């Protein structure tokens, strides 16, 4: 490994900026991809070791199709070995699109006068949650523009409202948040309302590019955003999600930024991010982004495989911004969560009117996968995945669970698979059509047999019996 001058290194200090563009560029410029090195790095990851920044740079600089294929195969193997076949499902719920920022890529930007601005009232929020529950959703992420209306108290009140909505057997058991960075006190208020993960995407880790895309408003301050999840940690909110909006700057730099952010959180707080998101730019109203950094499908799938190998124990979220064929491919490389039945127009879940086209003046950006939750579940079952609505770890206080999944022997077989089976059983009983139910029970049986431990198998079968008899929310 090369020696890097000391001044490139920014020490990891709590609530202090930690990205050094020169350091990242140096790693990228110096990394040489050879077959021997790529194989060594993949083997290191499969051996459950985190990769270093120079090692990630080698994978990012790999262009030989044969070696790229090895990277993808490595990610597939890691996914199988570590995570099994569960895919956790969730839905985004846009609560309000008032925004005082001017992000050049986003339809909610304050300068977009054509945007139809709306914030859901409590009644509208409840009606939307009811509609989501009636489809079988159990996990939501509430999404907000950045505006003084969306104070920590406002968000906390929304969270409590959502948890209070019950529709038949339906209930939301985990509420995550994607909203603007807060002060420590604000994060504390939101945490106390019982949220799961708080997500803040840096959008681009490159300081100069960041400045160009965020000309005004609170979000113009790169460092305030960069250190937001440090403040969350200081508030005791240790379940945080990071992300990059791919298409704003060189994707190699951005992947290095995500890895550096992960290192920083681990170094300072002893816990890495719970999830990594990698939205790719899609069209939005008043879209002002130079296409030079758009990421093509080949590079996008490679990015996901590299991220899987680089941070093997972090959850990876793929959204409906991506079309079905890309979603299907990258699920194999280790994405662990996807949204389904997604609607971005405010209030649309409870809107009975059949919508024909997406409306850019009402939505933040366009999505490319408009399938219903039922359709997505059907496809997951057809392709041997195990759809899961599990919310057990966070409710049992098992934080850092992805680390546990990765490092505690038998954790997935003992907890994750049984909980996926039980939540899928509930879904089948309450929401599935006959065909899906029949496929679903077959997939469940196949997964029960693979649990291997006869006592656990018996316990799972007993609980399924209880679910069939009407009990709900049984988990390990
Ligand atoms: N307003 C808050 C913020 O900016 O952090 C909350 C999140 S914003 C509503 C959700 C995310 O959508 C942003 O962080 C950004 O990554 C993503 N986004 C914005 N415009 C997009 C576009 N045109 N295509 C894809 N994703 C986009
Ligand atoms: Fe506002 Fe967030 Fe859109 Fe930026 S990305 S304009 S902050 S909603």
Higher pLDDT, 366 or 188: 188
Tell me if 3 is assigned to some domain. Answer: no
pLDDT of residue 406: 63
pLDDT of residue 403: 62
Domain range enclosing 107 = 13-18+79-405
286 and 185 within one domain: yes
pLDDT band, residue 4 (cuts 50/70/90): very low
Tell me if 396 is assigned to some domain. Answer: yes
83 and 229 within one domain: yes
Of 7-16, 96-105, 116-125, the poorest mean pLDDT is in 7-16
| Dist. CA 97 → ligand 2 center (Å) | 8
pLDDT of residue 27: 95
pLDDT of residue 102: 96
| Dist. CA 105 → ligand 2 center (Å) | 8
326 and 276 within one domain: yes
Could you say which of 383, 405, 427 is where a domain stops?
405
Over 50: is that where the pLDDT of 277 sits? Answer: yes
Higher pLDDT, 284 or 7: 284
420 and 288 within one domain: no
- The total domain count for the chain is 2
Of 17-31, 98-112, 123-137, 341-355, the poorest mean pLDDT is in 341-355
Please state, in angstroms and as integers, the Cα–Cα distance from residue 438 to each residue in 81, 351, 378, following that order: 28, 30, 11
Average per-residue pLDDT in the chain? Answer: 92
455 and 349 within one domain: no
Over 80: is that where the pLDDT of 7 sits? Answer: no
| Dist. CA 106 → ligand 1 center (Å) | 6
Q: Could you report the per-residue pLDDT of 456-468, keeping only the tens digit for each?
A: 999 999 999 999 9
Q: What is the rounded average pLDDT of the residues 289-302?
A: 95
Q: What is the rounded average pLDDT of the residues 323-343?
A: 90
Q: Could you report the per-residue pLDDT of 238-265, keeping only the tens digit for each?
A: 999 999 999 999 999 999 999 999 999 9
Higher pLDDT, 327 or 222: 222
245 pocket-lining for ligand 1 (C-beta < 6 Å): yes
Q: Could you report the per-residue pLDDT of 191-209, keeping only the tens digit for each?
A: 999 999 999 999 999 999 9
Candidate from 97, 98, 99 with most ligand 2 atoms within 8 A of CB, to mutate: 99
Cα angle 214, 216, 220; round to 5: 50
Q: What is the rounded average pLDDT of the residues 148-158?
A: 98
143 pocket-lining for ligand 1 (C-beta < 6 Å): yes
């Amino acid at each position: 490994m090369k020696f890097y001058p000391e001044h490139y290194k920014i020490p990891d200090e709590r609530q202090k900026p930690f990205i050094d563009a020169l350091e990242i560029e140096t790693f990228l410029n110096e990394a040489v991809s050879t077959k021997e090195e790529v194989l060594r790095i993949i083997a290191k990851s499969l051996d459950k070791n985190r990769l270093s920044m120079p090692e990630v740079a080698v994978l990012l600089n790999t262009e030989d199709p044969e070696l790229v294929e090895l990277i993808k195969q490595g990610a597939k193997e890691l996914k199988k070995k570590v995570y099994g076949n569960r895919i956790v499902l969730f839905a985004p719920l846009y609560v309000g699109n008032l925004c005082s920022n001017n992000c050049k890529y986003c339809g909610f930007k304050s300068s977009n006068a054509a945007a139809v601005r709306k914030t859901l009232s409590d009644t509208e929020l409840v009606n939307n949650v009811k509609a989501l529950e009636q489809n079988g959703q159990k996990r939501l992420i509430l999404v907000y523009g950045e505006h003084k209306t969306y104070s920590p108290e406002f968000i906390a009140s929304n969270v409590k409202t959502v948890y209070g909505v019950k529709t038949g057997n339906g209930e939301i058991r985990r509420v995550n948040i994607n909203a603007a960075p807060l002060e420590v006190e604000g994060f504390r208020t939101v945490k106390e309302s019982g949220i799961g993960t708080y997500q803040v995407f840096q959008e681009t880790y490159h300081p100069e590019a960041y400045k160009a895309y965020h000309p005004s408003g609170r979000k113009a301050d790169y460092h305030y955003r960069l250190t937001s999840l440090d403040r969350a940690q200081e508030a005791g909110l240790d379940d945080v999600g990071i992300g990059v909006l791919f298409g704003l700057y060189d994707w190699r730099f951005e992947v290095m930024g995500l890895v550096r952010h992960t290192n920083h959180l681990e170094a300072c707080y002893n816990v890495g991010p719970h999830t990594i998101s990698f939205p790719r730019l899609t069209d939005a109203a008043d879209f002002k982004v130079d296409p030079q950094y758009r990421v093509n499908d080949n590079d996008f799938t490679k990015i996901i495989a590299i991220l899987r190998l680089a941070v093997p124990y972090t959850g990876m979220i793929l959204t409906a911004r991506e079309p079905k064929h890309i979603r299907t491919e990258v699920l194999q490389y280790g994405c662990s969560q996807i949204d389904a039945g997604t609607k971005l127009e405010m209030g649309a879940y409870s809107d009975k009117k059949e919508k024909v086209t997406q409306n850019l003046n009402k939505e933040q950006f366009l999505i490319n996968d408009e399938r219903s939750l039922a359709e997505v579940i059907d496809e997951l079952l057809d392709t041997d995945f195990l759809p899961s609505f599990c919310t057990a770890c966070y409710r049992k206080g098992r934080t850092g669970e992805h680390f546990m999944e990765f490092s505690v022997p038998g954790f997935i077989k003992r907890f994750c698979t049984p909980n996926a089976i039980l939540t899928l059983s509930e879904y089948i009983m309450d929401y599935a059509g006959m065909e899906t139910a029949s496929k679903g029970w077959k997939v469940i049986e196949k997964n029960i047999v693979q649990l291997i431990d006869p006592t656990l198998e018996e316990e799972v079968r007993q609980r399924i019996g209880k679910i069939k008899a009407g009990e709900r929310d049984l988990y390990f």
